[in-house]
Chains A and B, each alone.
Chain A
Amino acid sequence: MSSYSSLASGMFKRWRVRLNFDFWTLGSLLIAAIVLLPVFAVIVLAMFPTENIWPHLMDTVLPGYIRTTLWLMLGVCVGTFIIGTGTAWLVSMCRFPGRGVFEWALLIPLAMPAYVVAYVYTDLLEFSGPLQSMLRDTFGWRTPRDYWFPDIRSLGGAITMMVLVLYPYVYLLSRAAFMEQSVTMLEASRTLGCSPWQSFVRVGLPIARPSIVVGVILALMEALNDFGTVDYFAVRTLTAGIFNVWLHMRNLGGGAQIAVVLLIFIVVLILIERMARRKKRYHTSTRSTPPVRIQLKGWKAWGAVIACSLPILFGIVIPGGQLVIYSLSHYEASWAAGFPIYARNSLMLSAIAAAIAVALGLFLAYAGRLGRGPLLTGCLRMVSLGYAVPGAVLAVGILFPFGYFDNFVDGLMREYFGISTGLLLSGTVFILIYAYVARFLALSYGTMEAGLTRIRPNLDGAARTLGRTPSGVLRDVHVPILRGSLGTAAILVFVDTMKELPATLVLRPFNFDTLATHVYQYAKDEQIELAALGSLSIVLVGLIPTLLLSYTISQSRSGGNTP
């Protein structure tokens, strides 16, 4: 009797385990399929170019585009890595004057649209700008031939602009990693004779590697899908090529082909990195005591202050200050009665997109941790690809499947019931939110996956032994440990949605504005002075939740709720 029942319960258990496994796997596959729909649509579009553009491009601009793109990637990679990890290490591991302020202030440049920063710096640094004028007055130079000054509208300028607004990706992710890192390991390294610098390079960085890599790859994808900055600086990357072929040659398929090449760039990059760290493990033990931050003194303290000030100075104080000046001098012309509504729309879309993206990102990352199929792993690797596609191209990849669906339903209803349902989803807020999630899921999935990697699998085992289901483990064990990563993911998606422009422009409903679309009309007309007030409001509205979340993240470190 008892042996029967134990056999039955054993079978039941096995069955349930398999069911659970299926739930997570199937759920992930479903999410991946939905989110990757626009990417597939772009790949399908790429199969039907109106003519073969490659011979022409190969012979002319393509080699230059590729070279420029590679340099841009290299520059952004190195720049965001150094600034992002350096400042993150300082604020999470050391104590120096102003550390508490730097901790959140280093995030602010994230809220600045890159093209706005580019406009402002061009005004400041070009020949007739205040800096060069001052130099000329001081030294008696007159024409540009009298002296040398770096040209802001150049590849170097574009890299600088992007690093200034993109380093916070790396900063946020590596800070989350450093904070979730086991302090004991670092202390052990110090006891074994490492200097603080050595323990950063030999222990801190390697353990945080998955997070740092995610941050850098996100920054790279963002750099690749940027069009505003490179266009303004006349830096010709592959992205510029996409728009030329699509809009000027009226060859959507050809443009989509270049977009696919961009995707391949990213995939190769991810694969190389994965191969390089194969078989290495990055778990740390669970958090123990909150670390004692090293007190920096003398020139070291000042060095830390300067290192943390510079990105803030160049990323927000100078461009933000200039925007304030423009806003004040052009206040009458740039204030719009609709601002509260635009702000509400932006906030609403960003909050919903962030909530959905965080939930889905967590689900996928955890499924990846549970999952054991190559199919699932492969799917998860691809989930981030939407982020590497320029927004306008991704929007087109969304328009066609949704339009097809709406018209299909409408056709059925007309045929069988004689009523027209019109467009159910196209041109609604729903499609906008879908677009944001499809585009920005990379941010939350990447953050979450990197966070989970740091948690030892034996913790899952222990919790399962204690009777938790996989979802119970996630809820009771991982989510509390991952609070920092959850907050980081939410900030990233929130702020990126606030700034998102090209997809919003073309997908939005009638009579619907966000702060970003409002700013764009002036930026497009080359009137940065009138765009300033709107740009500032993006920063301010994006800032409040960012600071709140940043606060929760730093709170999450002070122990307390360790499971």
Chain B
Amino acid sequence: MPMKKIFKRSAKVALTASIAAASLFSVAASASEVNVYTDRQEFLIAPLLEAYTEATGTKVNVVYASGGMEERIKAEGRNSPVDVVLTVDVGRLVDMVNEGLTQSVTSPALEANIPAEFRAEDGSWYGLTFRARPVYASKERVDPSEINSYLDLADPKWKGRICTRPGDHDYNLGLLAAMIYHHGEETAREWIEGVKSNLARAPQGNDRGQVKNIYDGLCDLAIVNTYYMGAMLASDEQRPWAESVNLLFVDQDTVGTHINMSGAVVARHSPNLDQAIELLEFLSDDVAQQMYAAGNTEYPVKEGVERSDIVKMWGEPKFDAESPGAIAEYKGLALRIMNEIDYNAGP
């Protein structure tokens, strides 16, 4: 009997839910809305989208997805409701462009806001922010002048002194892809083999964990994104880790420090094209760029936008604007090399 009741009630709930979902859906198709798929985290992106709604009155519907986002768009085909895709990694956007899931858009505002090196020439993708991936070095045990390039990390003098997260993680594949792009496959392979033999232990943990390792004295050098520095300095518990390291923005005389760029594309079957472009314009303009900079410790792409205090401490290093293209082109090869040298096995 109770089972029956539960079942009846569940059926009712299911019905209500599907009606609710259907109404959600039909609303999503109306004109004053824009639909977003993104692999970025809600707590980073939601405030920006709220600001957009406040400024324009356009409602934003979001799916915060992860693996499978591209497949969802592909499967939905011409009826896909998605207008804008935001990702943490432009390489992923370039893949989507190549798979025919996007359309090129352009507007004077977008061209004015985003410097040419941070967007595709044909308007197929736009960069919005970036984070650098410098070398983190122990203040106590490493003289900053000892490291001027990523290539220096392969020097045998660092044997047993480097920590990284696993080699098949996005960020490390991105860096290796950029090394392939700039130095050729052979040099890049020798370099990453050198880094591998200098590791203090088998790669493990996340980016913050590597900084903690330096603080704990497990190693002296690590490769970590700048984004995490802001988060660590904001936490009482983690501040000592962050304060135990120097950030070395390497390759200043050559191509610049490697970056990961976040960005956006407009979907091929976007039903709300005007709102999609309006959203991109908003995200690349002062208000949103300022929010990215302050809230997420990211580098805004728009020139003249004030950076956060933490980011300002690091001065004005040169960045490798070619990273995103390189990542899109060589990430697969980078993974092969990581597999071939069995990077994750450690030293």
Chain A positions within 8 Å of B, measured between CB atoms, are 56-57, 59-61, 64, 122, 127-128, 143-144, 153, 232-234, 236, 240, 243-244, 246-252, 348, 351-352, 355, 359, 392, 395-396, 399-400, 402-404, 406-407, 410, 420, 422-423, 426-430, 433, 486, 502, 505-513, 517-518, 520-522, 524-527, 529
Indicate if B142 sits at the interface (CB-CB under 8 A). Answer: no
User: Which of these, B7, B65, B95, contacts A355 with CB under 8 Å?
Assistant: B7
27 A-B pairs within 8 Å (CB atoms) are namely A64-B342, A127-B213, A127-B218, A153-B204, A232-B205, A233-B204, A234-B204, A236-B344, A243-B67, A244-B168, A246-B67, A248-B334, A248-B335, A251-B332, A348-B17, A352-B13, A355-B6, A355-B10, A399-B71, A399-B74, A422-B29, A422-B81, A423-B81, A427-B81, A508-B63, A526-B206, A526-B228
Q: How far is the CA of A524 from the CA of B169 in the complex (A)?
A: 13
- Whether A506 contacts B66 by the Cβ 8 Å rule is yes
**Which residues of B sit under 8 angstroms from A144, Cβ to Cβ?**
218
In the complex the two chains form, is A502's CB within 8 Å of B208's CB?
A: no
* Cβ-defined contact, B71 with A400, below 8 A: yes
Asked if B57 is an interface residue, CB under 8 A from chain A, the answer is: no
Contact present for B25 and A428 (CB under 8 Å): yes
Quote the shortest CB–CB distance from B172 to chain A (angstroms).
11
Nearest 4 A/B pairs, CB to CB: A403-B75, A510-B61, A506-B68, A60-B339
- Answer yes or no: B69 CB below 8 A from chain A CBs: yes
In the bound complex, CA of A433 to CA of B331 (Å): 35
B134 at the interface (CB under 8 A from A): no
Do B342 and A60 touch across chains, with their CB atoms under 8 A apart? yes
| Contact among A57, A428, A510 for B63, CB-based, below 8 A | A510
A60-B339, A511-B24, A517-B64 known; A252 vs B13 contact (CB < 8 Å): no
Q: Is B300 part of the binding interface, using a Cβ–Cβ cutoff of 8 Å?
A: no
Contact B76 A426 (CB under 8 A): yes
Bound: A406/B173 CA distance, A = 37
A77 vs B206: C-alpha distance in the bound complex, in angstroms? 29
- B interface list, Cβ under 8 A from A: 3, 6-7, 10, 13-14, 17-18, 20-22, 24-25, 28-29, 35, 41-43, 61-69, 71-72, 74-81, 95, 165-166, 168, 170, 173, 202-209, 212-213, 215-218, 228, 231, 235, 331-332, 334-336, 339-340, 342, 344-345
Which residue among A56, A420, A428, A529 has the maximum number of chain B CB atoms within 10 Å of its CB? A428
A505 close to B64 (CB less than 8 A): yes
B71 CB contact (under 8 Å) in A127, A396, A505: A396
In whole angstroms, how far apart are the Cα atoms of A525 and B206 in the complex?
A: 9
Q: Out of A251, A420, A510, which one reaches B62, CB within 8 Å? A: A510
Cβ of B24 and Cβ of A392 under 8 Å apart?
A: no
Q: B68–A392 contact, CB under 8 A?
A: yes
Contacts of A512 in B (CB 8 A): 63
Alpha-carbon distance between A527 and B207 when the two chains are bound, in angstroms: 12
- Knowing that A127-B213, A403-B74 touch, tell me 5 more A-B residue pairs with CB under 8 angstroms: A351-B13, A400-B71, A410-B79, A506-B71, A521-B41
- Contact (A422, B340) CB under 8 Å given A128-B215, A392-B66, A526-B206: no
Q: Is the CB of B67 within 8 A of A248?
A: no
Dominant secondary structure of chain B at its interface with chain A: helix
For residue A312, give the distance in angstroms from its CB to the closest CB of chain B: 28
Chain B residues contacting A249 (CB-CB under 8 Å) are 331-332, 335-336
Q: Which residues of A contact B205 (CB under 8 A)?
A: 122, 153, 232, 234
Please measure, in the bound complex, the distance between the C-alpha atom of A506 and the C-alpha atom of B208, giving whole angstroms.
27
Minimal Cβ-Cβ distance residue in B for A144:
B218
Q: Is the beta-carbon distance between A510 and B75 smaller than 8 angstroms? A: no
**Contact between B24 and A510 (Cβ–Cβ < 8 Å)?**
yes
Tell me the minimal C-beta distance from A156 to chain B in angstroms: 13
Across the interface, which residues of A come within 8 angstroms of B213, CB to CB? 127
| Dominant secondary structure at the A interface | helix
Known: A234-B344, A422-B79, A510-B63. A351 touches B10 (CB 8 A): yes
A396 is contacted by which of B10, B24, B29, B68 (Cβ under 8 Å)?
B68
CB distance from B147 to the nearest CB of A (A): 23
CA distance A251 to B95 in the complex (A): 11
Question: When the two chains form their complex, are residues B76 and A423 in contact, meaning their CB atoms are under 8 A apart?
Answer: yes
The one of B21, B170, B208 in contact with A526, judged by C-beta atoms closer than 8 angstroms, is B208
Residue from B66, B78, B335 within 8 A of A505 (CB atoms): B66
Q: Please measure, in the bound complex, the distance between the C-alpha atom of A143 and the C-alpha atom of B166, giving whole angstroms.
A: 23
| Neighbouring A residues of B331 by C-beta, 8 Å | 248-249
B292 to nearest A CB, angstroms?
Answer: 15
B68 and A395 contact, CB distance less than 8 A: yes
Task: Pick the most buried of A502, A507, A512: most chain B CB atoms within 10 A of its CB.
Answer: A512
Residues on the B chain within 8 Å of A56, using CB: 336, 339
Give the chain B neighbours of A511 by CB distance below 8 A.
24, 61-62
In angstroms, Cα B169 to Cα A240, docked, is: 11
Contact check, B77 vs A248: say whether CB atoms are below 8 A apart.
no
Contacts of B339 in A (CB 8 A): 56-57, 60-61
Q: Are B218 and A510 in contact (CB under 8 A)?
A: no
Q: A510–B77 contact, CB under 8 A?
A: no
Q: Complex formed: what's the CA distance from A303 to B180 in Å?
A: 60
Chain B nearest CB from A146 CB (Å) reads 11
Contact among B64, B72, B77 with A521 in the assembled complex (CB-CB below 8 Å): B64
Closest Cβ of chain A to B160, distance in Å, is 10
A128 to B214 CA separation, bound complex (whole angstroms) = 11
- Nearest B residue to A479 via CB reads B3
* Cα–Cα distance between A233 and B22 once the two chains are bound (Å): 41
Are A248 and B332 within 8 A (Cβ)?
A: yes
Provide the residues of chain B in CB contact with A410, threshold 8 Å: 79
* A233 contacts across to B, CB distance below 8 A: 204
Task: Give the chain A neighbours of B29 by CB distance below 8 A.
Answer: 422
Residues of A within 8 A of B63 (CB): 427, 506, 508-510, 512
The answer to whether B41 touches A510 (Cβ under 8 A) is no
